[in-house]
Chains A and B, each alone.
Chain A
Amino acid sequence: MRIPWRQTLMSYTFLAPALILLAVFTFYPLVYGAYLGFTEYTGARFAQGLGPKFTGLDNFRTLAGDPLFHTAIWNSVRYLLVVPVLQLASLAVAVLVNKELPGMTWFRAAYYVPVVTSVSLAAVMFEWVFNREGVLNWVLTSLHLTTPQKAIGWLNSETWAFFAVMLVTFWRGFGYYMVLYLAGLQTIPQELEEAAVLDGANPWQRFWRVTVPLMRPTILLCTLLSTIAALRVLEEVLVLTNGGPLNSTYTALMYVYAKAFQGFDFNYGLASAAGLVVAAVALIISAVNFRLFRTDDVAEGA
């Protein structure tokens, strides 16, 4: 079939704004950013009006020898701990609100509110929760799990700040995954649940034997999404602890951000190289995920 040239011209005219913007702000930065990873582009060069200088693998050698980068990568990997907890909890909550009972729509909406909360607001509110005199310690004291004398300033503790930040990620995320799981639950045939009930399965057995296997595609999709999100965590860290105390919450993207923008000795080249490493890790993890759990399942669920 011949395509009229006017139709082609019209199509490209309509597409032009999107294509130009995507080219300039999405594709060009991908390519140029990757190139920068192999260059020296420091604050000093920048100040003199010099461009990036190609230095091969120098930046990667620097990263390999930088203990801060090792800490950052280790923290990002450690952050993946939040994924299974988040996914199991969201799935359980989805099962809980999937029943048509009075008020259920309101519970669903309320659980979604943290998702539409900005990270800066979360930072303001959770600083009061995590404060030494905050709610968390009050609850723990009320439950006789701790005493006011032994109260912890959660965000200032080298041991606990990491988990405090994770809790905020959990809080902001569970409503989102709950909705995705709800959508998946709606596709489970009613007859299967009923058959399980008639066979005498208790709710616990129904959850593990019927719901979880049938939800596999959605579980895989959500796990993948949340793994990538956890690897790329930056905003929560930035607003809650800025990487501290003593770098205990310093994550990989925090490193990228700090090397690019914090202080006078910034180094776009090194930051870009670190970004490339994080991107590579993310890609590998996605690939492994897709291989481990057959791709067609995910495609079906998505």
Chain B
Amino acid sequence: MSAAATARPAARERPRVSWRRPLSLTLRYAVLIAILVFAIFPFVWTLAIALTDKTAGVSIYAFPASLLPRRITLHNFVDVYRTFHLGAYLWNSVSITVMTVIGTLVVSALAAYPLARFRFPGRNVIFSAIVATLVLPSETNFIVNTLTLKNLHLLGTHLGVVIPTVAGAFGIFLMRQAFLSIPSALLEAARLDGASELTILTRIMLPLTRPSLAALGIFTLVTTWNAYFWPMVVLSGAPERVPLSVAVLKLKGQFNYDPFNIAAGSLFMMLPVLIVFLLAQRLFLRGLEGAVK
């Protein structure tokens, strides 16, 4: 991380041959914009479709006209919200996501604290086991986990989607790294004052590691909100409880296929993540960079 921070400003003083500069710069931006179109075109188009007034009898496939709708309306959003009970699916997404984020933060922080700060018999074994989950073949886990959830009577419930996902190596790792960076003197002082370990964790460690908690929370939020396969498997017997990510594809499969409504429904799903991402993009990109170092 620190190496990245110092290396970046230095890039400005690179020597360049002066007459070639404008040409290469134009070329560079042309390529960048071409890639930009590739990356975000589907979103732009979806937005355009969602905002199109379909009563005018337009086709989404009339290029390039469908990219710039002549009559803009918000009616599709209202329409899809009402006819497809989108509110219920939105609520399902919120319920699953909130439970997963809170669960992940609590479980990861609790587990990371002793791993970072204490010596106890079995610590290395436990830590290795957690590391191992990153590389172990998980191809068949979803089959057995479905059976387990069935036995626990959690199949078809939001809790069933959430519980198997909250304990993960990524979260425990991230929090452990954060806790390791807190000076021991702080902890010693608190202990001398008679604070319990739980107090130290909640009053000292967690407030001081807020950026890491936020990063983990946002990562978990986006992943959970977008998750498709696992909620689809767990909730296959309870279609009314599926989150938006699963419901959107069901809308698509309905016989009264209406692309305008589906585009609007997709935006309902995309917007929260897009907003979170734009607000926290530094955290995202830095967090990933940190993963390589």
* Chain A contact residues, CB within 8 Å of chain B: 1, 3, 7-8, 10-12, 14-15, 17-19, 21-22, 24-30, 32-34, 36-37, 93, 96-101, 107-114, 116-129, 131, 133-135, 138, 171, 175-176, 179-180, 182-184, 186-187, 190, 193-194, 197-198, 218, 221, 232, 234-235, 238-239, 253, 256, 260-261, 268, 271-272, 275-276, 278-280, 282-283, 286, 301-302
CA distance A90 to B197 in the complex (A): 45
Which residues of A are found within 8 Å of B108, using beta-carbon distances?
A: 18
- A22–B145 CB distance below 8 A: no
Q: A3-B121, A100-B9, A127-B252 are in contact. Are A107 and B32 (CB under 8 A)?
A: yes
Q: A117-B270, A128-B45, A179-B289 are in contact. Are A278 and B111 (CB under 8 A)?
A: no
- B144–A183 CB distance below 8 A: no
Expressed in whole angstroms, the minimum distance between the Cβ of B232 and any Cβ of chain A is: 8
Which residues of A are found within 8 Å of B281, using beta-carbon distances?
A: 109, 112
In-complex Cβ contact of A118 among B139, B164, B227, B289 (8 A): B227
Expressed in whole angstroms, the minimum distance between the Cβ of A69 and any Cβ of chain B is: 14
CA distance A22 to B225 in the complex (A): 22
* Chain B contact residues, CB within 8 Å of chain A: 3-4, 7-12, 14-15, 25, 28, 31-32, 35-36, 38-43, 45-46, 49, 59-61, 63-64, 106-108, 110-111, 113-115, 118-121, 123, 126, 129-130, 133, 135-145, 147-148, 163-164, 166-167, 172, 197, 201, 222, 225-229, 233, 236, 245-246, 248-249, 252, 259, 262-263, 266, 269-270, 273-274, 277-278, 281, 284-285, 288-293
- B63–A135 CB distance below 8 A: yes
Task: Name the residue in A1, A11, A119, A286 with the highest tally of chain B Cβ atoms < 10 Å from its Cβ.
Answer: A11
- A121–B266 CB distance below 8 A: yes
- A3–B229 CB distance below 8 A: no
For residue B64, which residue of chain A has the nearest CB? A138
Which residues of A are found within 8 Å of B277, using beta-carbon distances?
A: 109, 112-113, 116
In-complex Cβ contact of B139 among A25, A175, A198, A232 (8 A): A232
- A17–B110 CB distance below 8 A: yes
- B226–A116 CB distance below 8 A: yes
- B143–A36 CB distance below 8 A: yes
CA distance A89 to B84 in the complex (A): 40
Which residues of A are found within 8 Å of B106, using beta-carbon distances?
A: 17
* Sample of 9 more A-B contacts, CB < 8 Å, known A18-B111, A18-B167, A193-B14: A19-B111, A26-B133, A36-B144, A116-B274, A118-B225, A118-B269, A120-B269, A124-B249, A179-B285
- A124–B262 CB distance below 8 A: yes
Closest 8 CB pairs of A and B: A279-B137, A118-B226, A33-B140, A275-B140, A11-B114, A29-B144, A18-B111, A275-B139
Which residues of A are found within 8 Å of B3, using beta-carbon distances?
A: 186-187
For residue A22, which residue of chain B has the nearest CB? B167
Expressed in whole angstroms, the minimum distance between the Cβ of B128 and any Cβ of chain A is: 12
In-complex Cβ contact of A15 among B12, B110, B236 (8 A): B110
In-complex Cβ contact of A36 among B49, B140, B278, B285 (8 A): B140
In-complex Cβ contact of A111 among B31, B39, B290 (8 A): B39
- A261–B139 CB distance below 8 A: no
Which residues of A are found within 8 Å of B107, using beta-carbon distances?
A: 17-18, 21
For residue A189, which residue of chain B has the nearest CB? B7
- B141–A109 CB distance below 8 A: no
Which residues of A are found within 8 Å of B46, using beta-carbon distances?
A: 124-125
For residue A193, which residue of chain B has the nearest CB? B14
- A268–B137 CB distance below 8 A: no
- A239–B130 CB distance below 8 A: no
CA distance A183 to B9 in the complex (A): 14
In-complex Cβ contact of B8 among A26, A28, A186, A218 (8 A): A186
Which residues of A are found within 8 Å of B129, using beta-carbon distances?
A: 22, 27
Expressed in whole angstroms, the minimum distance between the Cβ of A261 and any Cβ of chain B is: 7
- B245–A118 CB distance below 8 A: yes
Which residues of A are found within 8 Å of B289, using beta-carbon distances?
A: 179-180, 182-183, 186
- A11–B120 CB distance below 8 A: yes
CA distance A187 to B39 in the complex (A): 27
CA distance A120 to B59 in the complex (A): 23
- A96–B14 CB distance below 8 A: no
Which residues of A are found within 8 Å of B259, using beta-carbon distances?
A: 128
Q: A21-B163, A120-B245 are in contact. Are A128 and B60 (CB under 8 A)?
A: yes
CA distance A99 to B145 in the complex (A): 47
- A10–B233 CB distance below 8 A: no
In-complex Cβ contact of A33 among B123, B143, B233 (8 A): B143
In-complex Cβ contact of B144 among A28, A221, A253 (8 A): A28
CA distance A121 to B142 in the complex (A): 23
CA distance A36 to B262 in the complex (A): 40
- A197–B292 CB distance below 8 A: no
CA distance A253 to B227 in the complex (A): 17
- A272–B288 CB distance below 8 A: no
